[in-house]
Amino acid sequence: MDFESFRPLDGFSQLLLGGLLLGAAYYVIIISRKYQARRSLVLQHACKPPSKYPVRDPFLGLDVVYDALRAAKRNTFIKEKITHYNDYGNTHSSRLTTYPVISTIEPENIKTVLSTNFKDFVIGSPRRRAFGPVIANSVLVADGVEWEHARAFLKPSFSRSQVGDLATLETHVKHLIDAIPTDGSTVDLAELFLRYTADVTTDFMFGESILSQPHPEAFGRELTDACRIGQLGAERRFRLGILANLVPQGEFYRAVGKVHSYMEGHVDKAIQQRHSQSDEKKDANTNNGRYIFLNELVKMTDDRMVLRDQLLGIFLAGRDTTSALLTNLFFVLGRRPDVWKRLHRELDSLNGRKPSLEDIKGLRYLTFCLNETLRLYPIVQGTSRVATKDVILPTGGGDDGKSPVLATAGTLVIFHFAALHKRKDLWGEDADEFRPERWQDEKASWNFLPFGGGPRNCIGQQFALTEASYTAVRLLQEFSGIESRDSQPWTERLGATVFSANGAKVSMMK
């Protein structure tokens, strides 16, 4: 070798090489320290890894993505998730594209993520990336200070005095009652409930309802389909992860554009009205004593995108949550004449008068039925959080699934409420059966999470339950009997919420 051909590096090259070596050394030190810190945590808490879901693609988990998309298309997603927990344990690990995943239905683990260590977890980029095109500025996908501001921004709108406007509910319940045939013919209550909740939600948000029950064209099929496509597309994007943008999504984006245009029309009208008012009127109550959600929000900001996305998040949640709950309840009632009769007996105490909020609170068996519906058919099948630091989950590791588990920073922790609510060790051997009486002795716990838990629990929970309770009471008062006209078992249909794929096909008698 001719050493004379080698020339010493010039000053810049020496500096560059030195910088690269220092950077590499620093990286090794950081990784080493992180490893030592994690090893110390594992030893200190006696952590053990959870069982592993058999991922065939160890790099991106593409087989997991494919299986999830196929199950959702076949309406078997929840069924397959329950099977996974039965086969691989109540806590197990897997992978979703670039994210390590821990799936768990252990109440103590869920409590740790949603409450005890709330500040160590965020919604994270997986869900923001998936739902961003639909509701980028909504409280539903915000994190940190942005979430705190959004939550404080919306919370006054869901105070007890605002959600208890039963007179407005009664207006739309009458339209619902008028739409139900009494000649013994079959009706799909799912379609009617969806229009009903759209009417109620728009009345609450805009101060005027779209009145889609007496005028079905008011919330046209095109817009209804756009809402459905947007929600399904967002969920699909979540399951695809970083691969979402590699898949054609023209239909999804066109649907989102239609829904955005609808909301922006209402936002622009409210902002224009606000700006045209005199200072005196701005400070006064100009809603004739009624609380109008959008008008109150416009007092705090005139940012069109923020208003649009907050409205859309509330609209989709308010419409779909309650309509799904009512559909599932009446799906069951059509097959359970014993439950229908007992509910009728409970309502005898009202002597035919319309219920007040206090009356609704006192209807214990109705509450049991709603809880049991939410347990067996959760409106939201699951949710997720991303760890921002290393966190110890209390249980789920080792061969027996009882040791603590280390969830490292960047881990996507997923819980499936539909599987949690059917655990036989928590709910008994009849966990798959609709038995409202079980709620006589059941107390609030992390075993039952129909609206999530912790600081980020559903802000509209009381609104949804009040609307569902009042509607159920009024239908029970108006109709003496119900009969199922569908021999098929309940089948899931996944979107942002879980619907009955077969609706609720029944006949109702006066």
The enclosing H or E element of 228 equals helix 221-240
Q: What is the pLDDT of residue 471?
A: 98
DSSP-based three-state secondary structure for 448: coil
Which is it for the CA torsion 370, 373, 377, 383, positive or negative? positive
Question: How deeply is 69 buried, as exposed, middle or buried, from its count of CB atoms within 10 A (0-12, 13-18, 19+)?
Answer: middle
Q: Which residues contact 384 (CB under 8 A, 6 or more apart)?
A: 124, 126, 127, 412, 413, 414, 415
- DSSP assignment letter at 42: H
Low-confidence ranges of the chain (pLDDT < 50): 278, 284-285
Answer positive or negative: Cα dihedral of 245, 388, 19, 36.
negative
What's the N-to-C CA distance of the chain in angstroms? 103
Rg (CA), the chain: 26
Which runs of E-coded beta strand occur in 127-231?
187-188
Determine contact, residues 331/372, Cβ cutoff 8 Å: no
Q: How far apart are CA 480 and CA 469, in angstroms?
A: 17
Give the SS3 label for residue 53.
coil
Can you tell me the distance from the alpha carbon of 174 to that of 222, in angstroms, rounded to the nearest whole number? 26
Pairing type for strands 498-500 and 412-416 reads unpaired
Task: Specify the pLDDT at position 279.
Answer: 55
In this structure, what DSSP letter does residue 450 have?
B
| 407 DSSP β-pair partners | 391
CB atoms within 10 A of CB 289: 5
Amino acid identity at 24 = A
pTM of the model: 0.90
Q: Which residues of 455-487 are buried (b: 16+ CB within 10 A; e: fewer)?
A: ebebbbebbbbbbbbbbbbbbbbebeebebebe
Distance CA 462, CA 157 (A): 12
The set of long-range contacts for 238-241, using a CB threshold of 8 Å and a minimum separation of 24, is: 238/126, 238/127, 238/130, 238/131, 239/65, 239/68, 239/69, 239/72, 239/96, 240/65, 240/69, 240/97, 241/65, 241/96, 241/97, 241/98, 241/99, 241/126, 241/129
Beta bridge partners of residue 505, listed in sequence order: 188
Given a contact cutoff of 8 angstroms between Cβ atoms, the answer to whether 417 and 449 are in contact is: yes
Q: For residue range 75-119, list pLDDT tens digits in order.
A: 999 999 999 999 999 999 999 888 999 999 999 999 999 999 999
Say how far apart CA 344 and CA 338 lie, in whole Å. 10
Write down the H helix ranges in 461-501.
Answer: 461-478
Q: Is 489 exposed, middle or buried (0-12, 13-18, 19+ CB in 10 A)?
A: exposed
Alpha carbons 339 and 436: distance in angstroms, whole number: 8
Q: Encoding tokens for residue 7?
A: 């020339």
Neighbours of 114 (CB within 10 A): 22
Give the residue among 79, 8, 27 at the shortest CA–CA distance from 501: 79
CB-CB contact of 336 with 486 (8 Å): no
Contact assessment for residue 199 and residue 213, using Cβ atoms and an 8 Å cutoff: yes
